[in-house]
C-alpha cells in the first residue's frame, strides 16, 4: 500500500511539472570567453532529456551536460528541481542565438526560451592580457585553387601549459599541413621572445596549414580552441618560469582558461576565361622535361619525365596532354609529388612516360605548354619546356615483319630480340616435324587440366569413402585403448559422428551434441547414448575416479555405436 502511494506521489509530481526556466551566465562576451547555458525544471524527480546539437552552428560545447539536483523542505512541504548546464565557446563574433529547445520529462514535453549573446572581437586591449591565441591569414581574398596560409600562435606572459587543443576543420577547402604539433615534445628552445605594446611575451607556433578553396563563395572558417592551465609564481620564487623545461615549475595556485582564435572570413572568386588545356594549376610554376637517352636503337625503351615545379596546389593538378611522334608507343607511368613545407606549400609534380620507338630516324618532342593561374599577378600565365631532339638508329635485330607487328595501335610492349639470330630455312624438312611436336604438346597441355580436375575429384571421393567406413573401427579402437572411458568417452563419440559427417566440427558442448543427435539416430539408441554422455560429463568433473565399471561401459558403448553405424 505504501509503495502504491509513493508511485502516486511521483506521478502527481511529474504531471504537475510546469515551471521551466533557462538562462545564460553572460549576455555580452568576447570571442575568447565562455558562457554557461543552464536549463532548470522545478517539481521533478527525473533527469530531463534534451538535444542541443543545433547550437553547434554558433557555439562549441566545451563541457556538459552537467546535471544537478536540489531538494527543499518548507513548512513540511518537499520541493525538488533539476538543472542541466553546458559550457559554450562562440565560434564567431556578432549576435549569436541560443534557440529554444524541447525538454522531455517522461511523457511531458516542455520548451525553453531562446537567448541572444553578443560576441565581440578580440580588441587591442585584450591583446595585452597575460595570454592569448592569434591567427594570421596570408590573404582574405583568393581565387579557386589559390593557396591561403593560416598560422596559429600562442602568446603568454605567465607560466602556462597546454592541456588540449581543438583544431578547426576547413570544409570546401583542400588542406595541406605545414606544421602539426602532434607528437612534438616542446622545449624552452621552441619558444620565441617577442614584445607587444611594451610587454614581453613568450610565443609558440601551435599550428600552420595551407588551404586551397575548391569552389567560389564566402566562407567563415572555424576558430581554434585551446584549454590552458596557468599557475602564478610564488613571491618567494626568484627564477623566471621559462628557465625550466616547458614551464614545469608551478606555484600552489592554478586555474584553467579557454583561448579562442578570431574567426576568419575568406572570399573566393571563380576563375574566368579558363584556357582550353587547363589542368587545374594555380600558383607560380616552371616546367622541366628530361629524356633518359637521346640516341638509341629502334625498339629500345626510354623514359621521358615532365616536372612542374613551384608554389601552389600541386596535389590538385592533372596530367597534361602531350603530342608524341606517331612512330612511338607511349605508356603512361607513375605520378610523383615531392612536397616542400618549410614555408609555403611548394615542391614539384612529375609525370613519367615510357616510350618505345618503332622506326629509325630523327625526331622531336615539341615544347610542352601548361597554363596556370598566376596567384601573384592574378592573371593567366604559361609554363613552357624546351624542345627535345633524339635520334633513333636502325637496329640489326629488327626486320620489316617485326615493324609490322609493332603497329601504331598496339598497347602492349612486344618482345625485343637481342644477339645473333639463328634463322630457319622455309625449305627445311624439320619444319613439319617441329609443328607436329608443338601441336602434340599443346594438346597435352590443353587436356591436362581436365584430367587433373577429375583426379582431384576422384581423390576427394576416395578420402570421403575411407573416412565414412573407418569411423566405427577408429571409435572402437579408441574405446579399447583409452585409460578412462569417463574422461575420453565424449571426445570419442564426437569424433565418430564428425567422421560420419553428422557434426561439422569437433568443438561442441554436450547440450548441442544431444540436440543434433536427437534427430539423426533412433530414439532407443539416443536414450542409451545420452545416458552414457551424461555420466561421462558428471564423472569427468569429479575428483573420485571409479574404473571398476570401465570394461562394462566400453562394451555397452561399442554395441551402441555398432547399431548406429548400421543405418547412419
C-alpha 308: how far from its chain's center?
A: 30
**Between 93 and 522, where is the model more confident?**
522
Report the mean per-residue pLDDT for the chain.
78
Beta carbons of 80 and 44 less than 8 angstroms apart? yes
Side-chain-side CA neighbours of 513 within 13 Å: the count stands at 23
Beta carbons of 150 and 222 less than 8 angstroms apart? no
| Res 538: pLDDT | 66
Is residue 114 over pLDDT 60? yes
| Res 151: pLDDT | 94
Cα Rg of the chain (Å, integer): 42
Write the pLDDT tens digit of every residue in 250-300. Answer: 444 456 677 888 888 999 999 999 998 899 999 999 999 999 998 999 888
Write the pLDDT tens digit of every residue in 94-103. Answer: 889 999 888 8
| Res 6: pLDDT | 45
| Res 273: pLDDT | 93
| Res 262: pLDDT | 83
**Between 84 and 163, where is the model more confident?**
84
Write the pLDDT tens digit of every residue in 474-533. Answer: 889 888 888 888 888 888 999 888 888 888 777 777 777 888 888 889 888 888 888 888
Is residue 23 over pLDDT 70? yes
Q: Could you give the CA distance from residue 532 to residue 475 in angstroms, rounded to a whole number?
A: 15
| Res 371: pLDDT | 94
Cell numbers that stand for 37 in this block:
547555458
Largest CA distance in the chain: 127
Is residue 242 over pLDDT 80? no
Is residue 180 over pLDDT 80? yes
Sheet with strand 108-111: strands edge to edge: 49-50, 102-105, 108-111
Write the pLDDT tens digit of every residue in 33-44. Answer: 778 889 888 877
| Res 35: pLDDT | 83
| Res 354: pLDDT | 93
Write the pLDDT tens digit of every residue in 197-208. Answer: 888 898 989 899
Q: Could you give the CA distance from residue 286 to residue 340 in angstroms, rounded to a whole number?
A: 16
| Res 372: pLDDT | 94
| Res 246: pLDDT | 41
Is the pTM higher than 0.75? The answer reads: no
Amino acid at each position: 500500500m505504501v509503495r502504491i502511494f509513493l508511485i502516486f506521489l511521483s506521478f502527481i509530481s511529474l504531471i504537475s511539472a510546469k515551471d521551466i526556466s533557462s538562462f545564460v551566465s553572460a549576455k555580452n562576451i568576447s570571442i575568447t570567453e565562455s558562457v554557461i547555458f543552464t536549463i532548470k525544471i522545478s517539481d521533478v524527480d527525473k533527469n530531463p532529456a534534451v538535444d542541443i546539437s543545433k547550437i553547434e552552428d554558433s557555439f562549441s560545447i566545451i563541457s556538459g551536460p552537467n546535471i544537478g539536483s536540489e531538494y527543499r523542505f518548507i513548512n513540511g512541504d518537499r520541493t525538488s528541481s533539476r538543472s542541466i548546464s553546458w559550457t559554450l565557446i562562440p565560434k564567431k563574433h556578432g549576435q549569436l542565438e541560443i534557440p529554444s529547445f524541447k525538454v522531455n520529462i517522461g511523457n511531458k514535453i516542455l520548451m525553453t526560451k531562446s537567448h541572444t549573446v553578443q560576441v565581440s572581437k578580440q580588441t587591442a586591449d585584450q591583446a595585452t592580457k597575460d595570454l592569448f591565441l592569434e591567427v594570421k591569414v596570408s590573404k582574405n581574398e583568393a581565387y579557386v585553387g589559390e593557396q591561403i596560409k593560416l598560422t596559429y600562435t600562442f602568446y603568454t606572459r605567465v607560466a602556462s601549459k597546454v592541456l588540449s587543443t581543438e583544431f578547426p576543420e576547413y570544409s570546401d577547402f583542400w588542406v595541406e599541413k605545414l606544421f602539426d604539433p602532434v607528437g612534438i615534445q616542446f622545449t624552452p628552445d621552441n619558444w620565441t621572445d617577442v614584445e607587444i605594446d611594451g610587454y614581453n611575451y613568450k610565443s609558440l607556433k601551435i599550428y600552420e596549414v595551407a588551404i586551397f578553396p575548391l569552389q567560389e563563395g564566402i566562407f567563415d572558417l572555424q576558430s581554434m580552441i585551446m584549454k590552458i592551465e596557468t599557475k602564478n609564481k610564488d613571491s618567494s620564487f626568484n627564477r623566471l618560469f621559462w628557465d625550466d623545461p616547458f614551464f614545469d615549475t608551478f606555484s600552489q595556485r592554478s586555474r584553467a582558461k579557454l583561448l579562442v582564435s578570431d574567426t576568419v572570413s575568406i572570399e573566393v572568386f571563380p576563375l574566368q576565361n579558363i584556357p582550353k588545356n587547363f589542368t587545374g594549376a594555380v600558383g607560380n610554376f616552371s616546367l622541366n622535361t628530361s629524356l633518359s637517352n637521346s640516341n638509341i636503337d629502334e625498339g629500345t625503351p626510354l623514359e621521358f619525365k615532365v616536372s612542374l615545379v613551384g608554389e601552389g596546389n600541386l596535389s590538385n593538378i592533372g596530367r597534361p596532354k602531350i603530342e608524341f611522334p606517331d612512330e612511338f608507343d607511349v605508356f603512361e607511368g607513375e605520378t610523383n609529388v615531392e612536397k616542400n613545407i618549410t614555408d609555403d606549400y611548394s615542391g614539384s609534380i612529375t609525370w613519367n612516360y615510357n616510350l618505345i620507338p618503332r622506326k629509325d630516324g630523327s625526331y622531336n618532342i615539341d615544347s610542352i605548354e601548361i597554363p596556370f593561374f598566376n596567384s601573384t599577378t592574378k592573371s593567366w600565365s604559361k609554363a613552357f619546356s624546351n624542345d627535345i631532339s633524339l635520334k633513333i638508329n636502325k637496329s640489326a635485330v629488327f626486320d620489316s615483319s617485326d615493324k609490322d607487328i609493332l603497329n601504331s595501335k598496339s598497347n602492349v610492349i612486344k618482345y625485343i630480340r637481342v644477339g645473333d639470330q639463328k634463322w630457319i630455312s622455309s625449305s627445311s624438312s624439320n619444319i613439319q616435324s617441329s609443328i607436329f611436336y608443338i601441336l602434340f604438346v599443346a594438346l597435352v597441355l590443353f587436356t591436362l587440366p581436365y584430367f587433373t580436375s577429375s583426379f582431384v575429384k576422384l581423390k576427394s571421393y576416395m578420402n570421403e569413402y575411407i573416412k565414412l567406413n573407418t569411423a566405427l573401427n577408429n571409435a572402437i579402437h579408441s574405446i579399447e585403448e583409452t585409460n578412462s572411458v569417463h574422461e575420453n568417452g565424449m571426445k570419442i563419440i564426437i569424433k565418430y559422428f564428425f567422421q560420419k559427417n553428422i557434426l561439422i566440427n569437433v568443438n561442441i558442448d554436450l547440450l548441442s551434441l544431444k540436440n543434433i543427435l536427437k534427430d539423426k539416430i533412433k530414439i532407443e539408441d539416443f536414450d542409451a547414448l545420452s545416458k552414457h554422455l551424461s555420466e561421462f560429463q558428471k564423472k569427468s568433473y569429479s575428483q573420485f575416479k571409479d574404473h571398476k565399471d570401465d570394461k562394462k561401459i566400453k562394451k555397452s558403448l561399442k554395441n551402441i555405436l555398432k547399431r548406429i553405424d548400421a543405418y547412419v
